[in-house]
Chain A
């Protein structure tokens, strides 16, 4: 019984209360039972401490190993990248004895993976094996490099990293058009239009114009000149009758077979150009107007559909909606260079309308219609082509229209974008793949 005002626990206080209120004398039988427990407690403590120490020791032994493995992996990756860079160097130096020729079935050693190339200067001597193969297109090469740190025949732990990239040469994307103006549709030549393909035969004799359909003349004063033509006559039109470009094509070839337009950019080409334009900040979408307030930057310009997808080929389904097509208008003041000349490649997933007297130098490619009305002294050195997909804007009444302009075929300007498109191999955006091991 517990009465208020007095505690049966007395001086034992909390211990007593914790045991239910029973006060125990100091020499309780339980206390006497602790005799001999010191050594087991000590042993248990030592076991626990030893276990902790062993865990610590294991960690201590593992940490440096992990760190060295990490370093070797990083070194191996850098050596694999050295292999990729070496291959790119070789592609850019086809004339060097250690270079890779422009065309090959099997790359020469060491770019066939047959040799282990030691990279001097690495603290852990390492190196790489590299293989270069032809890619999916004529302007792509596949590079696979294996980096080893230390060397592949070294004893002890070693790291291997594999890198696969696609190298791309932008200048090889555009194929030489067979005409200064090529239209996959009907072509209308306006008054006083001059199209001349005679001056540049460096990539073969070209015709002035080429059309899938008819070529008509509106007004007077046209002067079409093909390179393989009788120089004393102009505007000689040859009907291909739905076949290939004939051997004696004259100045203008009409009714050629669709297969003759194999120089047009494919979806793969457009994808590659889109990536390049994105990388250099000249990728645009939808309706774009270039003029004095928004001049055209030199080099590659890619104007894409609103959706960012390539235009569906004609008669293929689902057709690209007209509202999705890109459109580019080039007005006065668009060529902002000091000489009033724009140089580059203009690639449009839609229509192009040129309405300026500025000088243009390079290559103009419209997947849709193309019209050029440039009064004055302007003109184009290079070539322009139309894929003829989508609606044709009035008043041209055809897939392509030209009037009052001067176009001169210039092979070098087409291939190099007037000297603005780099002709060196580089890693294609988004193609870098890395993996551990071989």
Chain B
């Protein structure tokens, strides 16, 4: 093999590899986005199941482990107890995700129903998306949101 031959081959290879590798960050970003959204969906489902398991019964005796959010920014409370506190930073492998539960009292209206024995539960998991460079975006967040009604038993 002549040196010139090897040089040309190396140049062609370099150009090809650079071209291919240029696409890798954006591809990695897309995969990461999918992973983050899947994780957020899992975390939201997990929290919604916890909410669904909470007892809310007319009784006797009356039981309210659900609680109600006093505003759209407030975690639900039953009496003086915060039933599902906000989780601004989840631990362990879920660092970077935050989770919140809001429970609206349908006495104020839910799709035409204005009764206190129906509530609307909304679970949101937010996360910072990855940048093309592989780090977290400095600003902006994305969310996976699930909502449903719960009727008093």
| A residues neighboring B (CB under 8 Å) | 34-39, 41-43, 45-46, 49-50, 53, 56-57, 59-68, 70-71, 74-75, 78-79, 81-82, 85-86, 88-89, 92-93, 96, 98, 117-123, 419-420, 422, 424, 426
Counting residue pairs across A and B whose Cβ atoms lie within 8 Å, the total is: 152
Quick one: which of B24, B37, B149 contacts A71, CB cutoff 8 A? B37
B131 within 8 A of A: no
Contact B153 A426 (CB under 8 A): yes
In the complex, what distance in Å separates the CA atom of A66 from the CA atom of B30?
11
Q: Mark B5-18, 1 if CB is under 8 A from A, else 0.
A: 11011101100110
Q: Mark B123-153, 1 if CB is under 8 A from A, else 0.
A: 0000000000000000000011111111111
Contact A74 B13 (CB under 8 A): no
In the complex with contacts A53-B23, A61-B30, A67-B38, A119-B44 CB distance below 8 A: no
In the complex, what distance in Å separates the CA atom of A122 from the CA atom of B48?
14
Contact A98 B41 (CB under 8 A): no
Write 17 A-B pairs (CB below 8 A) sorted by A numbering: A37-B1, A42-B9, A45-B13, A45-B16, A59-B27, A60-B27, A63-B31, A63-B35, A71-B41, A75-B145, A75-B147, A78-B146, A79-B147, A85-B118, A86-B149, A92-B152, A117-B111
| B residues neighboring A (CB under 8 Å) | 1-2, 5-6, 8-10, 12-13, 16-17, 20, 23-24, 26-28, 30-31, 33-38, 40-41, 44-45, 48, 52, 57-60, 104, 110-113, 115, 117-118, 120, 122, 143-153
Contact B23 A98 (CB under 8 A): no
Contact A121 B122 (CB under 8 A): yes
Chain A contacts for B60, CB-based, 8 A: 419-420
Q: How far is the CB of A338 from chain B (nearest CB, A)?
A: 14
Contact B27 A57 (CB under 8 A): yes
Quick one: which of B30, B57, B104, B122 contacts A422, CB cutoff 8 A? B57
Describe A's contact surface by its main secondary structure. helix
Q: Which of A61, A64, A88 has the most CB of B within 10 A?
A: A64
Quick one: which of A37, A56, A64, A120 contacts B34, CB cutoff 8 A? A64
Chain A contacts for B5, CB-based, 8 A: 35-36, 38-39
